Structure 1
Amino acid sequence: MLVGYCDSDWSGCEDDMRSTSGYAFHLGSVVFSWASVKQSCVALSTAEAEYISAAEATAQAVWLRFVLSDFGEEQVEATQIFCDNTSAIAITKNHVHHHKTRHINRRFHFIRDALQNGEIDLLYYRTGEQNADIFTKALARDWFEYVRSKLGVISAKHLEGSVKV
């Protein structure tokens, strides 16, 4: 089953005050799609930055579902995308919050359609256990190594001697 994790920093770039979105998608135990990109607009709150990050992860999830169906691996159930911001999840799931998000670029609101169509399900995942943290913020060495291992990435020093030249 395809599972995603998304995260963002808020106003992480001191030059233009734009946030960075990060996401990673697992298929089984393998991470096979990830990104770390600067957001195209300035977010006015952490909830907005996370909402935009979740929308970008949703776009990737919809595309990955399409690709998987081309390989005969159609995802019937919704792709779970984990986010560590309850406000961003509430904005997505409750249209009453729309008056608070009128200023957000309309292209990010398609996340609501994907949720209603059963393509994705945006769920809460506790801060500090978020795989996507590695794409959006500086981490302490031990936490960096832990998240890196959860993503299945190994240090280059562990490869030494494993390939004959």
Structure 2
Amino acid sequence: MTKSPFTGKSEPASDLLGLIHSDVCGPINTQARGGFHYFITFTDDFSRYGVEQQQIPQEIEEQVTAVETQILCRSLRECHAPERYGFLITTVTSLDSEKWLEAMRSEMDSMYENQVWTLIDPPEWVKLIGCKWVFKNKTDLDGNVQTYKGRLVTKGFRQIYGVDYDETFSPVAMFKSIRILLAIDAFHDYEIWQMDVKTAFLNGKLEEDVYMTQLEGFVNPKDARKISKLQRSIYGIKQAPRSWNLCFNDAIKEFGFIKNEDEP
């Protein structure tokens, strides 16, 4: 008898005898009727059809008897019905629904203003990635809600490296460099200005062709069969950080800044 290590990967059977489970039990101290101390079972994973043999092959001449048995399958996972819009409905029907709707409208206005996508007829070979809403609120030190944010993100986990994107690296400032700058500012009593770019990723332009499904609830009935071809980097796709960094790098150099090679 041979056995293979458990890989942790599920491979359901797609046809009869595609995957068979076998088990040998014995020796059993209490002798069964007929003097048996061992028995072996075979179970087809697809049909749940069991085959058992209670004697050593050399002792019998008849073929193995096939007996259909009821197999009890147990799993630690709980199955639930899929809820595609459960969280969205909960948000819209909450006490702060008007504020959440305003956050969604503000996000969509940014999408249209930056011309993030164009609607096209779907080619036959195209691979679509989905999109969804992500809601978050910002609170102050006392826990009071200050900002309601609704972010439209793509399901970038469906992208394939080398097909939908190539490079994803985006440099990040080191905290020690920030602390050094703050120390210099404090020593010379400089003023510190902080700038926040709203929907920063939408400023980056895509070099690859990425296609996305239309957002539920914002589909024009006249263009219901069309898909969205992304023109700019949207939150969720793999290359979004790098596209935004390239855009920021070109813009900051126009103001006379020089790139520090030691701190990119």
Task: Report TM bin, short chain.
Answer: under 0.3
Q: Which has the higher helix share?
A: 1
Larger Rg: 2
**TM-score for both structures, normalised by structure 1:** 0.23
**TM-score for both structures, normalised by structure 2:** 0.17
Larger relative contact order (C-alpha < 8 A, sep ≥ 6)? 1
